[in-house]
Amino acid sequence: MKKNDIVLTEIEDIGVNGEGIGKIDGYPLFIKDAVIGDVVEAKVMKAKKNYGYARLMKIITPSEYRTEPKCPFARKCGGCQIQEMSYERQLIFKEKKVRGNLERIGGFDRELLDRIMEPIIGMENPYGYRNKAQFPFGADRLGNPVTGFYAGRTHVIIPNTECALGVPVNREILETILGLMKEKNIPAYNEQTGGGILRHVLIRYGFATKEIMVCLVVNGDSFPHAEILVERLCRIEGMKSITLSPNRKKTNVILGDSFQILWGDGYITDDIGGVRYRISPLSFYQVNPVQTERLYGLALEYADLKGAETVWDLYCGIGTISLFLAQSARKVYGVEVVPQAIEDAKENARINHIENVEFITGKAEEVLPEWYQSHSAAREADKTGSGDRDDRADVIVVDPPRKGCDPALLEMIVKMAPERVVYVSCDSATLARDLKMLCGNGYELEKVRTVDMFPETVHVETVVRLQRKHT
């Protein structure tokens, strides 16, 4: 097999990034945009020793799982990877991906997974689900401002203000901004030169409250003619918050470290499962509200609280899971590294009249050991174990970013020995790695369930329950 060879192959499998995998005499070729079951003609782009990459040239026989994508840019755009696969097949792919990681990386055996994995929770309508989008701004060849999404693995913007995963109002907001930029010659940021002004626009939409937030990320401290923009944007029904976040750094990080209010409040509110949340521009908030309610419900079910427990919610963001759990626990501690998110979390506890929660700013892997240390004196003094209940945890919930938990945190969890650990994960590879550690140190994998928070993409959320083994 060598570069530029043209091959004919049937797609037998799906790679973790959604590519089709065809085999030529046992040699696997990864073919982007080919769907499992397709018979395709492909051109080899790169041939390594044990596998290669090929470009899809022609679909000879389409797979029964192939479907018409809603978005005309589905193949080019880096946002979605598997829009051409039927939704039912996407769900099977995601479940298998999680299972594969648990087997390969976690070392869990098949029979166990057969027994404990519950069926994936999919969506009824796998489009229009995102409450948040961050649109990059740039210029086209003629120098006109454009916005849309990056093409896969590049920073080339595909102009598109109507993402099929987002809400319809995105278009009106973006066209209003582009219109003013053209009118007043306001340049978009240029990554190469470091010049220009507008870098990104973050839009959030509260599905329950219909409130809208717009945050302009600028290369500087202000946006020219901001007053005209504000006047136009605040005419859009539901507009609640228009802010500006300065970001002068040459970096791929989208938002700046702070924000200032241009109009309205510095936040919007939203409801999930009867709890009201305040969300500011720099705080993390789950992007799919329909599935988030199911995800949090599942975390609560797996935590199996009876009412007397001390619970830690690590990586708590704006306190969403903490407040869900607090209604069924004695006390919940939330830990989060972003200070603005902790401010939101405290406010959220207040507006929901939930008093049995406490939020701590800091890294989970530092806060928990410090807490344990400072309470160990009380623990020593009270050998009967009936006194200070805050020195321990009955249930620990973790919901880390893709890189998973820090090893120091996992060690601390083992030391604190909670009855149950509920792990909410957005990356099943790091989840499997962390579960292997915990299950090698006194815990048993009891339940696993995936929730499809991100239809049309290869990403998926997983919730796991671990039970401490009693010997």
By CB under 6 A, tell whether 340 contacts ligand SAH: no
364 binds ligand SAH (CB under 6 A): yes
> Considering the rule CB under 6 A, would residue 338 count as an interface residue with ligand SAH?
yes
391-410 positions binding ligand SAH, by CB under 6 A? 399, 401
Q: How far is the CB of 70 from ligand SAH (least distance, A)?
A: 27
**How far is the C-alpha of 327 from the C-alpha of 313, rounded, in Å?**
13
Least distance (Å) between residue 441 CB and ligand SAH: 20
Which residue is at the shortest CB distance from ligand SAH? 317
Instruction: Supply the minimum distance, in Å, between the C-beta of residue 426 and ligand SAH.
Output: 8
**Which three-class secondary structure string do you get for the chain?**
CCCCCEEEEEEEEECCCCCEEEEECCEEEEECCCCCCCEEEEEEEEECCCCEEEEEEEEEECCCCECCCCCCCCCCECCCCCCCECHHHHHHHHHHHHHHHHHHCCCCCHHHHHHHEEEEECCCCCCCCCCEEEEEEEECCCCCEEEEEEECCCCCEEECCCCCCCCCHHHHHHHHHHHHHHHCCCCECCCCCCCCCEEEEEEEECCCCCCEEEEEEECCCCCCCHHHHHHHHCCCCCEEEEEEEECCCCCCCCCCCCCEEEEECCCEEEEECCEEEEECCCCCCCCCHHHHHHHHHHHHHHHCCCCCCEEEEECCCCCHHHHHHHCCCCEEEEEECCHHHHHHHHHHHHHCCCCCEEEEECCHHHHHHHHHHHHHHHHHHCCCCCCCHHHCCCEEEECCCCCCCCHHHHHHHHHHCCCEEEEEECCHHHHHHHHHHHHCCCEEEEEEEEECCCCCCCCCEEEEEEEECCC
Q: Which is nearer to ligand SAH, 339 or 385 (CB)?
A: 339
Stretch that binds ligand SAH, among 184-192, 240-248, 334-342, 455-463 (CB under 6 A): 334-342
* Binding residue count for ligand SAH, defined by CB under 6 A: 18
Can you tell me which of 149, 284, 359, 443 binds ligand SAH, judged by CB under 6 A? 284
List beta partners, residue 449: 118, 463
Is 336 among the residues that bind ligand SAH (CB under 6 A)? yes
Considering the complex, state which of residue 300 and residue 316 has its C-beta at the smaller distance from ligand SAH: 316
56/72 Cα distance (integer angstroms) = 17
The answer to whether 313 and 321 have CB atoms below 8 angstroms apart is: yes
Report the nearest approach of ligand SAH to the CB of residue 449 (Å): 16
What count of other Cβ atoms lies within 10 Å of the Cβ of residue 109? 10
Binding to ligand SAH by CB under 6 A, coded x per residue (else -) over 300-319, reads ---------------xxx--
How many angstroms from the chain centroid is the CA of residue 465?
Answer: 20
Binding-site string for ligand SAH from residue 165 to residue 184, where x marks contact by CB under 6 A and - marks none: --------------------
Question: Using CB under 6 A, which of 363, 379, 389, 459 touches ligand SAH?
Answer: 363
Determine, following the binding rule CB under 6 A, whether residue 335 of this chain makes contact with ligand SAH: yes
Taking alpha carbons only, the member of 276, 196, 202 closest to residue 243 is 202
Q: Is 346 in the site for ligand SAH (CB under 6 A)?
A: no
User: Is position 293 an interface residue for ligand SAH (rule: CB under 6 A)?
Assistant: no
Both structure tokens of 43? 């051109």
Active-site residue list? 426
Binder of ligand SAH out of 181, 321, 323, 413 (CB under 6 A):
321
> For the chain, what is the largest distance between any 2 Cα atoms, rounded to a whole number of angstroms?
76
286 lies in the site for ligand SAH, by CB under 6 A: yes
* Residue with Cβ nearer ligand SAH (206 or 317): 317
Cβ-based nearer residue to ligand SAH, 82 or 466: 466
Our CB check for ligand SAH shows the closer of 44 and 299 to be 299
Burial class (CB in 10 A: 0-12, 13-18, 19+), 419: middle
Measured from the CB atom, the residue of 101 and 131 that comes closer to ligand SAH is 131
Is residue 334 close enough to count as binding ligand SAH by CB under 6 A? no
Beta carbon of residue 364, minimum distance to ligand SAH (angstroms, whole number): 4
Among 45, 105, 151, 337, binds ligand SAH (CB under 6 A): 337
Residue among 44 and 426 whose Cβ is closer to ligand SAH: 426
Least distance (Å) from ligand SAH to the CB of residue 185? 37
Nearer of residues 169 and 338 to ligand SAH, judged by Cβ: 338
Per CB under 6 A, contacts with ligand SAH among 101-160 are none
For ligand SAH, which is the closer residue by CB, 45 or 338?
338
User: Minimum distance from CB of 166 to ligand SAH (Å)?
Assistant: 19
The answer to the question of residue 320 lying near ligand SAH (CB under 6 A) is yes
Site residues (vs ligand SAH, CB under 6 A): 284-286, 315-317, 320-321, 335-338, 341, 363-365, 399, 401
